[in-house]
Structure 1
Amino acid sequence: MSSRLRHPLFAVSLAVALTLPWSLSWATNANASFETLTTVAISGLAVLGASFLLAWGAETAEKDVPRAFALAVLAVLAVAPEYAVDALYAWTAGANIGTPRGAEAANLAVANMTGANRILIGLGWSAIAVFTVYKAHSTNDPAVERRSGFLGDVVHLDRDISTEIAFLLAATLFAFFVPFSAATLAGGETMGGIGVVDTVVLVGLYALYIGIIIRGDVDSHEEQVGVPAYFQAYRKPRRIATVLLLFAFSGLLILTAVEPFAHGLEELGQQAGVPPFFMIQWVAPLASESPELIVVAYLVNKARSTAGFNALISSKLNQWTLLIGTLAVVYSIAAGRVAPLPFDQKQVAEIWITAAQSFFAIAILTNFEISIREAVALFGLFITQVVAEFVVIRTVAEPLASTYSLYILYGYTVVYLLIGLVLFAARRDELRWLFGKTRATAREAIGSAEASADHAD
């Protein structure tokens, strides 16, 4: 009996079993009559099970495709619910263009997007760094180095992630200029917007990144254990079919379960007296980011922290490029014409603080390591800003609440930028190396493409 429990397919069966209550109720539409708490419970279990299946699929795929590409696919699937939620708000805004309802939906799309991005860094990157150091006591993770000093232990990152960091920095610098795209709000007021140029640049950056990493070499030096090792032993056709099935099944589950999970949490929060806008910016993205965080925690638990951080950075890159860029596309389709997605001054400030946080986080990773001290700084700045704004919203009447909220956002933006600039200045040699490594990787990819074309001729 014990040997059966240790068999890899037993673990797969357990993960699938977690998804069954939601899968069956969703397929039969029985979930429509569930209480909110029941919906949250079974959809949350489905997200948990699907996250494990997704992680196993990505690890199995590393035998046949470059690891960076496998992790990029994992990242896109894991944050697919975030795309779905934001696309819904963008569509509503475009379908009601020029009306107060449309303006509100557009602001919610931006708020949900910025909230998701800040959660991924402020909570995700910092928590995973701390968890990695904690787990190293039992896993002997080679990526963790013990150092003296207050919270001095560090997690070393794979230097091959330089391409992702460089592209993320490029997208971050461009994001500061996104609010300058003109858009017209309800009532004729001109404000910021996400327009065609933003879509072309940001989506183009991601397409270029994928074009580079997909031509990388397949990693063969890291042996898998457990479920991925079992699937990698399959013959190639069966192995590829298994990977595709795991990706398709887990992707479908995540896409169908996370939105009800997020909305259920929103309803529970509102019942507890939390403002709806605050819930949409913070609680809903936290739910939609949960598959990604579960997958990374799973990788860290296997002493694969470098792969875990690669997945987190890849996830941030696709959210900071594809997610922003596609919002304007969805909005224009719903509106029936090409138009920038509009947002008010509050969302301008939200975009700037999100870009500033990303700028600071990239500065931390420039030397390809993150210390517990730096992780605590990321989390501390993130959580104090959220709490400060929540307190203002709950205790100060309008219009002062909105004014104070803007002051908080601008203040934290300046802090992020100043600390980030200091770190970049101190690590300028590492930054030069990073760009040099990225250029070399890009040249290799272009050379590989030209060689393939010549061989075909």
Structure 2
Amino acid sequence: MPAALLRRLLLCLAVASPALVLRITGLAPHPVLDLVVFGAAVVAASFVLAWAAEAAQKDISGALAIAILALIAVLPEYAVDLYYAFRSGSDPAYEQFAAANMTGSNRLLLGLGWPLVALVALGAARRAAGASRGGGNSRGGGASRGGAGIGRGPAFLQLPAASRLDLGFLAILAVVAFAIPLMGRIPVWFGIALIAVFIAYLWRAGQAPDDGEEEFVGAAALIVELPRRSRRATVIGLFVASAAVILASAEPFADALVASGTSLGIDSYMLVQWLAPLASEAPEFIIAILFALRGLGAAAITTLIASKINQWSLLVGSLPLAHLAGGGGTDLGLDARQVEEFVLTATQTVMGVAILLALRFHRASAIALLTLFALQFAVTGTEGRYILSAVQVVVAAWFLGAHRHEILPTLAAPFRRPAADADPAPQDRVPAPIA
């Protein structure tokens, strides 16, 4: 094993060790200390899990690899969220936290993750353009078509044509998601239907043509350099070890979040909604940003879109099943606050899909997404949240009108078998994402 990789793994082990000691001994010194210790363990294990998932693409290529990578990357979030849903079966006070964690992570992924990756990728492309042209002021073709001068770099991130499949599934799920606040609950039958959509997504992703050789960064690149047998053994070992740490830490971390809110006088709902997703999704964001810095912003965005599909299908679908397994009924009930959160999350998803319909992520759109995401922290009242949801619907409607010719192809993509001999244009390939 390369020394650089070993050092990183030992660092993650050192961070996770206090949580393992507390878990084995059964000690719980203080809710805030428990929160820090078990939260750090989740973050450390999430990094290891993300490295292994990325390296696994060496042996599983194509769109299916991206779908599986996105699924594995959000496993820490699943562990925490499903624990809340399971616990709510015997303790109704926990019902609100399952929805809180899901809606927070969902909005964090689109409102912060998508635009941040796009802006980083565009910034990297601008620096590369400036370096290759020596700071000249002449004008050329590609960047000018994007609406920016050569000196300023491109104005949008070009997504690969294969992304239309993911956007199609996400569009369908975004529309279906409005049924949840309308029903005021998540029935088991509805959850099973969402899981079926996720299975269909994996099936379609597996039929998509391979986009070519993957590129790897950081620890994943070190794993990929190992001989095949050693690489596969390392990936499997890291999967097992990181999953064990996450599963061991999920319950005390989730309980510590709730108890810390009471101890510190902070709304426990807010801690569950934002702190837990930040801990579980930090590695995914960091890896996506690393890809963007290397000019692979389209690959990063594609993975984050796949994560959104996982959240709206498999995660939401699993919540009522976990609730039922924990001793609850066949419906996971939602109160008024949770209904409001689902409306805000669903409208944000529709807006995100509408923005990307033309497979172009403009700098201005990224800034707008960030702005609307930040506004929700200033707008805390129910009336204000619904007004913000309406604003997101208006923005979505504007983009749907501007991209109206892309609506039907996108909605049809999940039902159309990808051509096996399709040869995407150079600008549609993942290794060349900037237009």
The TM-score with structure 1 as length reference comes to 0.77
Counterpart in 1 of 2:100? 111
Counterpart in 2 of 1:279? 271
Maintained 8 Å contact 1:163/1:441: no
| Equivalent position amino acid for 1:171 in 2 | L
Report Cα offsets for 1:123-158 as digits up to 9, x if no partner: 21122222222333556699x956439997222222
Shift of 1:256: 4.4
Counterpart in 2 of 1:166? 168
- Of stretches 26-35 and 75-84 in structure 1, the one that deviates more from structure 2 is 26-35
Counterpart in 1 of 2:14? 21
For residues 48 and 14 of structure 1, what CA distance do their matches in structure 2 show? 17
Counterpart in 1 of 2:64? 69
The 1:257/1:379 distance shift into structure 2, 3 A limit, reads farther
Maintained 8 Å contact 1:90/1:106: yes
The 1:283/1:44 distance shift into structure 2, 3 A limit, reads closer
For residues 260 and 133 of structure 1, what CA distance do their matches in structure 2 show? 40
Alignment of 1:363-402 (within 5 A): 363-389=354-380
SS of the equivalent of 1:155 reads strand
2:390 matches 1:414: yes
Maintained 8 Å contact 2:15/2:44: no
Shift of 1:361: 0.5
Shift of 1:218: 4.3
SS of the equivalent of 1:62 reads helix
The 1:79/1:15 distance shift into structure 2, 3 A limit, reads same
Counterpart in 1 of 2:429? none
2:113 matches 1:120: no
Report Cα offsets for 1:317-371 as digits up to 9, x if no partner: 101111111111011122265x111111222121111100000001111111212
SS of the equivalent of 1:441 reads coil
Aligned residues: 405
For residues 38 and 347 of structure 1, what CA distance do their matches in structure 2 show? 29
Counterpart pick for 2:157 among 142, 155, 158: 155
The TM-score with structure 2 as length reference comes to 0.81
For residues 251 and 439 of structure 1, what CA distance do their matches in structure 2 show? 34
| Equivalent position amino acid for 1:333 in 2 | A
The 1:260/1:368 distance shift into structure 2, 3 A limit, reads farther
The 1:272/1:37 distance shift into structure 2, 3 A limit, reads closer
Root-mean-square deviation (Å): 3.3
For structure 1, the 5+ residue unaligned runs are 1-7, 97-101, 182-191, 390-404, 446-457
| Equivalent position amino acid for 2:363 in 1 | I
2:172 matches 1:177: no
For residues 138 and 266 of structure 1, what CA distance do their matches in structure 2 show? 44
Maintained 8 Å contact 1:60/1:231: yes
Shift of 1:409: 1.9
Report Cα offsets for 1:231-274 as digits up to 9, x if no partner: 44555444333322233333334444577667767777766653
Maintained 8 Å contact 1:157/1:368: yes
Shift of 1:217: 4.1
Maintained 8 Å contact 1:262/1:288: no
SS of the equivalent of 2:76 reads helix
For residues 293 and 347 of structure 2, what CA distance do their matches in structure 1 show? 31
Shift of 1:195: 0.3
